[in-house]
Chain A
Amino acid sequence: KNEVEQSPQNLTAQEGEFITINCSYSVGISALHWLQQHPGGGIVSLFMLSSGKKKHGRLIATINIQEKHSSLHITASHPRDSAVYICAATSGGGADGLTFGKGTHLIIQP
């Protein structure tokens, strides 16, 4: 079974700072997902990637397949970015193939 570890577990930063959240996994995968969950809210898919880098607005996700590692970056962070960020890895094929990390709780202070 794939083990997915996220770091840090908690992160507090000031508005405008560059944020990095890390995700590592133990077994080779076919895709990695980054999800966002606001307090008391639902879960939204931010990215799904299997190689390289993806960018959406101020969010950037990268993955290094050889090192079994992915990062989520937030540029010019804003208080509305405060949320729990979750990564999930899949080995592909099979509906039960998603393994979730425990999440990183991010707080951006004004």
Chain B
Amino acid sequence: NAGVTQTPKFQVLKTGQSMTLQCAQDMNHEYMSWYRQDPGMGLRLIHYSVGAGITDQGEVPNGYNVSRSTTEDFPLRLLSAAPSQTSVYFCASSYSQTGANVLTFGAGSRLTVL
């Protein structure tokens, strides 16, 4: 089983550029989420989805868009990258939306915005 697959692992962008971080899972999980991890701070939720066609905002959604057209895929789009979006991004999934299910994380995507 592949689990949660994130691409790319590393990306450098210039301010104002756009890009998409890909996330795919093969476990038929309903719940998927995107987090960012910054030095000295805990993981912070950007957007999440409780099923295909359903998305919602987390704690730090500004500057990011998501969509969930299939159960497997949950891409994160940066529309106009800013240096403040330099971070490590993690995608995660679990069986259902409640926190009482084990989360499976992707390997992370390190993004640098110049």
Is A57 interfacial (CB-CB < 8 Å)?
Answer: no
Given A42-B106, A43-B105, A102 contacting B97 (CB threshold 8 A):
no
Contact A31 B99 (CB under 8 A): yes
Interface size classification for chain B: 20 to 34
Partner of B42, one of A48, A50, A96, A101: A101
Contact A96 B107 (CB under 8 A): no
Is A97 interfacial (CB-CB < 8 Å)?
Answer: yes
Q: Count A-B pairs with CB separation below 8 Å.
A: 76
A90 to B44, CA, bound (A): 14
B74 partner residues in chain A, CB cutoff 8 A? none
Is B2 interfacial (CB-CB < 8 Å)?
Answer: no
A99 partner residues in chain B, CB cutoff 8 A? 42
Is A86 interfacial (CB-CB < 8 Å)?
Answer: yes
Partner of A102, one of B42, B92, B108: B42
- If over half of B's interface residues share one DSSP class (helix, strand or loop), that class is named, otherwise mixed; here it is loop
Chain B residue, CB-CB nearest to A45: B102
Q: Beyond the given A92-B100, A96-B45, A102-B42, please list 19 additional residue pairs across the A-B interface where CB-CB is below 8 A.
A: A30-B98, A30-B100, A31-B99, A35-B105, A41-B107, A43-B90, A45-B103, A48-B100, A48-B101, A48-B102, A91-B99, A94-B98, A95-B33, A95-B97, A95-B98, A96-B56, A99-B42, A100-B42, A102-B40
Interface residues of A, Cβ cutoff 8 Å to B: 4, 30-31, 33, 35, 41-45, 48, 50, 86, 88-103
Name 22 A/B residue pairs within 8 A (Cβ), A-sorted: A30-B100, A35-B103, A41-B107, A42-B105, A42-B107, A43-B90, A43-B92, A43-B105, A45-B105, A88-B43, A90-B99, A91-B99, A92-B99, A94-B97, A94-B99, A95-B56, A95-B97, A96-B45, A96-B58, A97-B98, A98-B45, A98-B99
